[in-house]
Amino acid sequence: MKKWLRRTALILLVLGVSLAAAGYAYLQHPMFGALPSGARLQAIERSPHYVNGEFRNLIDTPMRTQDTSFASNVISMLFDRNPNLRPSMDLPSTRVDLKALPLDEDAVVWMGHSSYFVQAAGKRILIDPVFSTNAGPFPHTNPAFSGTSPYTAEDMPPIDAMLITHDHWDHLDYPSAKALLPTVGQVVVGLGVGEFFDRWGYPADRIHEADWNDILELVPGLRIHVLPARHYSGRMLTRNKTLWVAFALETPQRRLFFSGDSGYGPHFREIGERFGGFDLVALDMGQYDRRWANIHMFPEQAAQAAVDLQAKVLLPAHVGRFSIAAHDWDEPLKQIDQASQGRPYRLLTPNPGALLLLDNETQQFTRWWTGAM
C-alpha cells in the first residue's frame, strides 16, 4: 500500500511539475508582452496619474460594483448559458477595397468591436485593429461572431498612424500587430504599452507613448490628442501597470473622438467643452454588467456621453464581434437605438466593414442586427 501511495505521489508530482513548466513556457510567448522597465518605467513614475505603483482613474472607480468575487465574474463570463450570447447565423458584413479609396475621401470603417480604419485629411489611421478571430490568450476563449471578419492586415493600405487604446486582448492583438509591421508608419499608445511593440519588433523611433492630455503631431495636418478614459489595464495577472486612453483626431476640417473602453464619467463633458464638439464619436456601449458598472458604459450612458461630447454623429463601439458580458449580443444595439431617440446627434449603425463617408450628412444604415437572430 505504501509503495502504491509513493508511486501515485511521484506521478502526481511529475505531472504537476510538467504542467507548471508547460504553463511557464507558454507564458513566455511574445503575445503576453512584458512589464515596463528601465527608462520606460521611469517615465511612467513621473506621471501624475501613476500612484503607488499603478495608474489610477480620474475619479474613484471600484472594479466590482456588486458583492461578487473576481472568480465568480470570470466563471460567469466563461460559462454563462445565455442562448443569445452569440448570433445564430453569420452577421452581414461588407468588404471595401481600402487601398483604392481616394485619399481625399474622409471616411470611417468600423471593422467590428472597437477596431476602426479612419481616413481624414489624406491620412490613414488604424485604431485598435484586431483581425484575429479569437480575442484571448488561449485558443477559442473569445471567438469572433461568424461573418464579422471581412478584413485582414493584408487588406490595409499604408497606415500613417496606428493608435492603441489599451493592452486588453480585444484591443491589442499580437498577430495583427506583427502582420501590420511593414505597413504602419507610427504607433501611438498610452504610457507603458510601448513595451509590447518593442518586444514585437517595432523600431523605437516609430513608437510614441503618451499620457492623458498629451498632443502629438506626427504627420502634417493631423493632431492626435491622447485623452482620459475610465477603465483599467492588464494583460494577465498584473493590473494597471500601463495606461488606458481615448483618442481625438483633429484635422483642419473635422474632429473625431474614439473612447476606447470607458465607463461613464465627467471626463466626457470636460472633453466636449474643451474641443467645442465633435463631428463623430465612437463610444463604448457593450460588454457592460451591473457587477462591473464603472468600467464600461450602458447604452443609455453612451447616449448621454454623446450629448456631453457635443457629438453630431454617434457610432456604437465594443459591440457586434466578441461576447464578453452576459447580455444578449444585440442588446446594446437595440438599446442605443431607443436611447438615441430625440437626442441632438445622428446615430449611425453601419454593419461591420461598411464605409461611412464623413462628408455625407444624409447617409443612413439599416438595423442590420434585426435579421440575425
The answer to whether 283 and 290 are in contact (CB under 8 A) is: no
Task: Answer whether residue 215 shows pLDDT above 60.
Answer: yes
pLDDT tier, 22 (very low <50, low <70, confident <90, very high otherwise): very low
Task: Answer whether residue 308 shows pLDDT above 90.
Answer: yes
Task: Check residue 258 and give its pLDDT.
Answer: 98
Task: Answer whether residue 311 shows pLDDT above 60.
Answer: yes
Task: Answer whether residue 80 shows pLDDT above 80.
Answer: no
Task: Answer whether residue 16 shows pLDDT above 90.
Answer: no
pLDDT tier, 31 (very low <50, low <70, confident <90, very high otherwise): confident
pLDDT tier, 78 (very low <50, low <70, confident <90, very high otherwise): low
- Tell me whether residue 58 is exposed, middle or buried, using C-beta atoms within 10 angstroms of its C-beta: 0 to 12, 13 to 18, 19 or more: middle
User: 46 or 9, which is more confident?
Assistant: 46
Average pLDDT (200-214) is 98
Lowest mean pLDDT among 17-31, 53-67, 321-335: 17-31
Task: Check residue 17 and give its pLDDT.
Answer: 54
Q: Identify which of 332, 336, 359 has the alpha carbon closest to the alpha carbon of residue 348.
A: 336
Where along the chain do its domains lie? Answer: 98-371
Average pLDDT (155-181) is 98
Average pLDDT (251-258) is 97
pLDDT tier, 73 (very low <50, low <70, confident <90, very high otherwise): low
pLDDT tier, 8 (very low <50, low <70, confident <90, very high otherwise): low
The answer to whether 124 and 101 are in contact (CB under 8 A) is: no
The answer to whether 274 and 266 are in contact (CB under 8 A) is: no
pLDDT tier, 65 (very low <50, low <70, confident <90, very high otherwise): confident
Assign domain 98-371 one CATH number from 3.60.15.10, 3.30.1240.10, 1.10.150.120, 3.90.120.10.
3.60.15.10
Lowest mean pLDDT among 70-79, 92-101, 133-142, 190-199: 70-79
Average pLDDT (250-278) is 98
The answer to whether 40 and 194 are in contact (CB under 8 A) is: yes
> Cα(323)–Cα(286) distance, rounded to whole angstroms?
9
The answer to whether 142 and 289 are in contact (CB under 8 A) is: no
pLDDT tier, 237 (very low <50, low <70, confident <90, very high otherwise): confident
pTM: 0.92
Average pLDDT (356-371) is 93
Count how many Cα atoms sit within 13 Å of the Cα of residue 299 in the half-sphere of its side chain.
17
Task: Answer whether residue 287 shows pLDDT above 50.
Answer: yes
Average pLDDT, the chain: 91
Across 26-153, the runs of DSSP E, i.e. the strands, are: 50-51, 54-55, 107-110, 116-120, 123-127
pLDDT tens column, 174-193? 999 999 999 999 999 999 99
Task: Check residue 140 and give its pLDDT.
Answer: 84
Task: Check residue 15 and give its pLDDT.
Answer: 55
pLDDT tier, 373 (very low <50, low <70, confident <90, very high otherwise): very low
Residues in the chain: 373
Per-position b or e across 185-221, b if 16+ CB within 10 A of its CB: ebbbbbbbbbbbbeeeebeeebbbbbbbebebebbee
- Tell me whether residue 48 is exposed, middle or buried, using C-beta atoms within 10 angstroms of its C-beta: 0 to 12, 13 to 18, 19 or more: exposed
Task: Answer whether residue 20 shows pLDDT above 70.
Answer: no
Average pLDDT (141-165) is 96
* % of residues, the chain, pLDDT over 70: 88
pLDDT tier, 11 (very low <50, low <70, confident <90, very high otherwise): low
Task: Answer whether residue 10 shows pLDDT above 80.
Answer: no
CB atoms within 10 A of CB 113: 24
> Cα(44)–Cα(99) distance, rounded to whole angstroms?
37
pLDDT tier, 128 (very low <50, low <70, confident <90, very high otherwise): very high
